[in-house]
Structure 1
Amino acid sequence: MRKLIIPISMLLMACGGAQQRAESPETDDSVLLKQEEVHGTEVSAVELTNPLDAAMVETGEGIYDMKCSSCHRLTEERLVGPGWAGVTQKREPEWIINMITNVDMMLESDPEAQKMLEECLVRMPNQNVTSDDARSILEFMRKNDGEE
């Protein structure tokens, strides 16, 4: 009987601690804010840097390598998704950011996004990219398109 009391007590304490963390206003709010920041919030304005922000370019390249390169090439070549060459000349920065962070919203309401889906035949997955990371990806795209 004693052998069961200790593990059960530890389990109850662990569950209780998790419940307290979930109810903590600072933890709960920060998690919710980050979730809202990633999904469902349409980006309506993007401030571009001139010259490019080197740190953002580096961050964006890392995210591209990790999350984007399996479907997108930096050339015009279409792999699973369209190639990225020239994308910053074809699309507004807000459109690019929204496509990265709010792909479901874009595919529901944007004719250009719907056209891309028809061409590629594969829906872009939600990569859980934050607004800040999407901004870094945009900066990397600008560098890829020859901006300095």
Structure 2
Amino acid sequence: MKTLVSMIAGILLVTLLPFGPVLGEELHQKGQEVFQSKGCVACHTIGGGRLVGPDLKGVTQRREEGWLRKWLKDPDTMIQTDPIAKEMLKEYLVPMPNQGLTDEDIDALISYFKHEDSKQNNNKKEE
């Protein structure tokens, strides 16, 4: 019986292992698509400087993931209740519109932000 369980576990491991990186890759690519299709690029860059809203370079280092999730899901409430969001409104003068993002969109965006931040960190190490 142990041999059968070990054999099944081995088959599953070998079969599913290649999909791990692919799923992560697909998620951040979906995040890039969401970033473009929802119009985030109209107000934000990632490493290209400030526009109407902040440059999102390093956003996953500046903000905790839970905060980012709340902000992306419901910026209207955050502007009313969160001190960081209130300060951003004072600085940028334009509230971030609620884009009606799904939880899947938010997962993808955060994956995209993390991916971009890790690319930027890797570039710093090479310099």
TM range (shorter): 0.7 to 0.9
**RMSD of aligned residue pairs (Cα, Å):** 2.0
List aligned pairs for 1:40-51, cutoff 5 A. none
Question: Is 1:56–2:36 an aligned residue pair?
Answer: no
- TM-score normalised to structure 1 length: 0.62
Moved over 6 A (4+): none
Question: Is 1:130–2:102 an aligned residue pair?
Answer: yes
Q: 1:98 to 1:76 in 2, by over 3 A?
A: farther
Contact map agreement 1:57 1:136 (CA 8 A) in 2: yes
Corresponding residue number in structure 2 for 1:117: 89
Distance 1:76 1:99 in 2: 22
SS in structure 2 of the partner of residue 145 of structure 1: helix
TM-superposed deviation, 1:55? 1.2
Question: Is 1:145–2:117 an aligned residue pair?
Answer: yes
Q: 1:94 aligns with which of 52, 56, 66?
A: 66
TM-superposed deviation, 1:64? 0.6
Structure with higher Rg: it is 1
Percent identity between matched residues is 36
Amino acid at match of 1:88: T
Cα displacement string for residues 119-142 of structure 1 (whole angstroms, at most 9, x for unaligned residues): 000010111111111110000000
SS in structure 2 of the partner of residue 126 of structure 1: coil
Higher helix share: 2
Task: Count residues in correspondence.
Answer: 99
- 62-71 or 52-61, larger mean C-alpha shift: 52-61
Contact map agreement 1:76 1:82 (CA 8 A) in 2: no
TM-superposed deviation, 1:73? 0.4
- Any unmatched runs of 5+ in structure 2? 1-19, 123-127
